[in-house]
Chain A
Amino acid sequence: MQKTPVVSVSGLHKTYGRKNEQQYEALKGIDFTIDEGEFVGIMGASGSGKTTLLNLLSTLDTPTSGSVEVNGQDITGFKGKALSDFRSEEIGFIFQDFNLLESLTAKENIALPLSLQGVKKAEISKAVKEVATTLSIENLLSKYPTELSGGQKQRVAAARAIVHRPAIIMGDEPTGALDSKSARDLLDLMTDINKNQHVSVLLVTHDPFSASFCDRILFIQDGQIGQELKKADNNRQTFYQEILNQLGTFEQ
């Protein structure tokens, strides 16, 4: 079966700094695609351009040149309303921290993307209940973020990221602030969402364990994609080992 790409990136360049200031080229021509329902990881050393890439894919920043297409639409020219509507409809975010609004309950946090789209109250309630059941956080819905543990917060954040059925979920080191147990739970959850709800996932991480949950891993080196690893039919353990080996070759 031929899969259609959800994200397709070509010739992406990003140079920081104004013309007359000191300039730094963080991305030097990136090309790749993410298919529908794929779980893709992006790895690379610190400063290699992972966050930069994610910011461009999610329209938080604009590329110097090149194009990013999401669901066949070029998103690099988006401005104003089109921009925010794209974010709220097509993308689900999970960040490392400041994920939730601490003045809203878990339920209200999850409902936020739907409220922004003007969905009716009854439908919102239904959708929130549904994701909450999937992620087994029904009993946390009426709590405020300060009453939740780090892992629980990320679950709520994940619920908010998928409640509006985005084209793709993006995470920038979402497990970065979690202990290993919670991190594992969140990764299992994301895999679950990816497999059962067929939502594509793009995960930025520098942790090999997190990366082993992906179907495919792109390694960024000095602003370019250097290597690509596919899980194929390997189990997670072998894939983890493969990733470690790959990282080892970088260090030499």
Chain B
Amino acid sequence: MLTKLSLAGIKNRFKDYLVLLTGLIISAAVFYMFANLATNREFVKSNTQISMASQVFIFGMILLILITIVYIAYANSFLLSMRQHDYGLFMMLGAKKNRIGELVFIETLLIGVISTIVGIVLGIGMSMGLSQILFNQLGLTVHHFNALYWPAIVTTICLYVGLFLLSGIFNLTKLVRTPVLKLLHIDDEVYLPKRRPLVQLTEIVAGILLLAIGYVAMAKIMTLQLLAVPLALVTITLGSYLLFSAVIVGAVELLKQTNFANKKLHNFTLAQIMFRVRSYTRILTIVSLLFALALGAISVGAGFQRQAPQMAKSTSAYTMAINDMDKKEHNLVSQLNDTHTLTYSQKIVGNTVYYNEQEFVDHPLPMLDSRQALNDGSLKTLPIAQFKKVALNDMDFTGLVPKNGQQKSEFATQSDFENLNTATTHTVTIIRLNNVLAQRKILDRLEKLQQQRFPAPTMATVGGFQTYKMFNALFSGLEFMGFFLGFAFLAMLASCLMFKILSGANKDVVRYNMLNRIGTRRVLMKQAVRGEILTLFALPGILGIVDVLFGLQVFKPLMYHPNAMTGWSILIFCVLYGVYYGITTLIYERLVIPKEQMNA
């Protein structure tokens, strides 16, 4: 009988359950996607020649597990808030507490198991899709990646089912321990905001100070070394928390004084935000941090990847050198846009390659301004006397020899060069282009042709293209992980926020019902919902973006422009975050805004 009643309760709130299940399924899918990378040692090893990578993954995994715990806690409180009134009623009607406990436990676990299984299936699908997109669109090369990976499945199941077991036990004890009357009236408890200007002021000052310390710590990572990261994490977390609680209360109070507050439902919206500040500050802090981490992961990954073409420019004065260009190669070269080409003659006597000095006077071979790391790739041309000295020790020049053995390079005057008695005169053509990335397919074919004709013991060709390919392979893995991590974090944090917001809907049903009765237009109620939720989404988003802009300074020693890709990632992020906002408002509106008339 009780089971039937309980099932009837679920049927009544089927849409709410759908929300809950969908959220949990997405969370499980995201976790699976991440676990798929993190538990795949082969993948991590083969895609990152950096020893730090596996640590980054363990760190990411711990973070994701923490988020998952918070997430499931919120989802569970959403579930409990839906059910406690029903179960309180059953108990008041005389149902045994143990029986109720049993039912709640089974319900929680069942929801957990269903969402985990469906989530994993979805996760496999999403892994396939996302990796296809990344491989095809970004030209990434990634090895040892399988969408379906058993260890990841096992990890996901263990974590989720474990957490739902815990939630089930929690719900059971909570329902059994809480007095029935309290269960029935649990929604009535309210929090009254107290006005304490002095405390608020202190909070603001302390918050800004702590944030500043955190940001400086990240900017000074070179001097602070490893200490910077934990220091920044602690200070930024605390700072965000203090700032949120003070600024929201302060801003709402200021707005309440103005004419704005008296218009439409503004006062109501402000009061709603104020009322929820305390319970929201914690989640807003977490969300802003996760937002920063996610955005940071994507920006860094993408930044490194985008750095490959720049590296190509900064490590060599030219993109590729082609020996004895033939007709096929000539055709390919003429297809390249925005190129500079220079051709020099070579004569080979024994083990020495001779160059005509005059050709370098007429068409000087540019050299890199500087060979330091992170140079900007700018070029210089030297007077011939100096050039001859420097060139013989410069890789860009010595690498121009045909690649069939170790050869020495020498300069000869025009007449000496002409007098050298060799059967053939070779040529070497240097191409330099600005946009390596866009024309990489042609360059690839050129390189293949050269490799066939001049098999080299070590490197295929000289020049920036070869560096580009090396770094591209190295950074592809990083970018892939950055995107994965970033989207995993984003999906989780946005769902966290969504659930936190949705679990408050029950209380709002009464409020909006009352507003409807006294004649509030639906448009106004919708605006109120949108405004309130927008505030809750926007605040952590903005702070998260600020965190990232400062946080990326950490990578200054490693990257040309740590912020180069931030604009794009912020855009992508805002779009995705916006989608979450839209979904949340839609669901919320459906949950709380009543029909204008009964039976309408």
Contacts and interface: CB of A to CB of B under 8 A. Distances in A.
A192 interface: no
B253 to A, nearest CB: 12
Interface stretch (B207-215, B317-325, B518-526): B518-526
Contacts of B523: 81
B599 A61 contact: yes
Given A59-B597, A84-B596, A116 B519 contact: yes
Interface string B178-207: 000000000000101000000000000000
B327 interface: no
A60 B518 CA distance: 10
A116 B515 CA distance: 10
A59 B598 CA distance: 9
Contact of B522 (A16, A61, A80): A80
B331 interface: no
Given A87-B517, A102-B190, A61 B268 contact: no
B510 interface: yes
Interface string A85-102: 111110101010011011
A115 B263 contact: yes
A102 B272 CA distance: 10
Contacts of B511: 101, 103
A112 interface: yes
A9 interface: no
Nearest to B510: A98
B521 A91 contact: no
Contacts of A91: 519
A111 B270 CA distance: 15
Nearest to A119: B262
Contacts of B514: 98-99, 101
A146 B264 contact: no
Q: Which of A62, A86, A147 has the most CB of B within 10 A?
A: A62
B268 A112 contact: yes
Interface in B478-528: 510-511, 513-524
B600 A104 contact: no
Contacts of B510: 98
Contacts of A119: 262
B interface: dominant SS = helix
Contacts of A103: 190, 268, 271-272, 274-275, 511
B517 A113 contact: no
Given A81-B521, A95-B517, A118-B264, A61 B190 contact: no
B126 interface: no
A160 B519 CA distance: 13
B267 A84 contact: no
Contacts of B518: 87-88, 93, 112-113, 116, 160
B259 interface: yes
Contacts of B138: none
Nearest to A103: B271
B428 interface: no
Contact of A111 (B267, B516, B524): B267
A81 B525 CA distance: 12
B534 interface: no
Interface in A127-174: 144, 146-147, 160
A108 interface: yes
Interface size class of A (residues with CB under 8 A): 35 or more
Contact of A108 (B271, B522, B599, B600): B271
A119 B523 CA distance: 18
A179 to B, nearest CB: 19
A101 B514 CA distance: 8
Interface in B264-282: 264-268, 271-272, 274-275
Contacts of A62: 597, 599-600
A124 interface: yes
B519 A113 contact: yes
A121 interface: yes
Nearest to A95: B517
A147 B194 CA distance: 13
Given A103-B274, A103-B275, A121-B262, A115 B519 contact: no
Given A62-B600, A103-B272, A111-B267, A88 B519 contact: yes
Nearest to A101: B511
A99 B515 CA distance: 10
Interface string B588-599: 000000001111
Contacts of B515: 101
A60 B517 contact: yes
A30 interface: no
Given A81-B521, A84-B520, A147-B192, A111 B262 contact: yes
Given A101-B268, A103-B275, A146-B192, A93 B596 contact: no
Nearest to B516: A84
A85 B519 contact: yes
Given A85-B521, A103-B275, A80 B264 contact: no
B442 to A, nearest CB: 63
Interface string A52-71: 00010011111000000000
A147 to B, nearest CB: 7
A83 interface: yes
Nearest to A107: B267
A88 B511 CA distance: 16
Contacts of B262: 111, 115, 119-121, 124
A62 B259 CA distance: 37
Nearest to B256: A108
B184 to A, nearest CB: 14
Interface string B268-304: 1001101100000000000000000000000000000
Contacts of A144: 190, 192
Given A61-B599, A95-B517, A146-B190, A104 B522 contact: no
A83 B599 CA distance: 15
A153 B582 CA distance: 37
Nearest to A125: B262
Nearest to A100: B514
A55 B517 CA distance: 10
B455 to A, nearest CB: 78
B536 to A, nearest CB: 15
Contacts of B521: 80-81, 84-85, 116
Contact of B263 (A87, A104, A118): A118
Contacts of A115: 262-267
B258 to A, nearest CB: 8
Q: Which of B192, B264, B516 has the most CB of A within 10 A?
A: B192
Nearest to B513: A98
B264 A61 contact: no
Contacts of B259: 120-121
B271 A93 contact: no
Contacts of A58: 517
Closest 7 CB pairs of A and B: A87-B519, A88-B519, A103-B271, A84-B521, A103-B275, A121-B262, A61-B598
20 contacts: A60-B517, A61-B599, A81-B521, A81-B523, A84-B516, A84-B520, A85-B521, A88-B520, A93-B518, A95-B517, A99-B514, A101-B271, A101-B511, A101-B515, A103-B190, A103-B272, A115-B264, A115-B266, A116-B520, A121-B259
Given A80-B522, A103-B271, 16 more contacts: A16-B599, A80-B521, A87-B517, A87-B519, A93-B518, A95-B517, A104-B267, A108-B271, A115-B266, A116-B519, A116-B520, A116-B524, A118-B263, A118-B264, A124-B262, A160-B518
Interface of A: 16, 55, 58-62, 79-81, 83-89, 91, 93, 95, 98-99, 101-104, 108, 111-113, 115-116, 118-121, 124, 144, 146-147, 160
Interface of B: 190, 192, 259, 262-268, 271-272, 274-275, 510-511, 513-524, 596-600
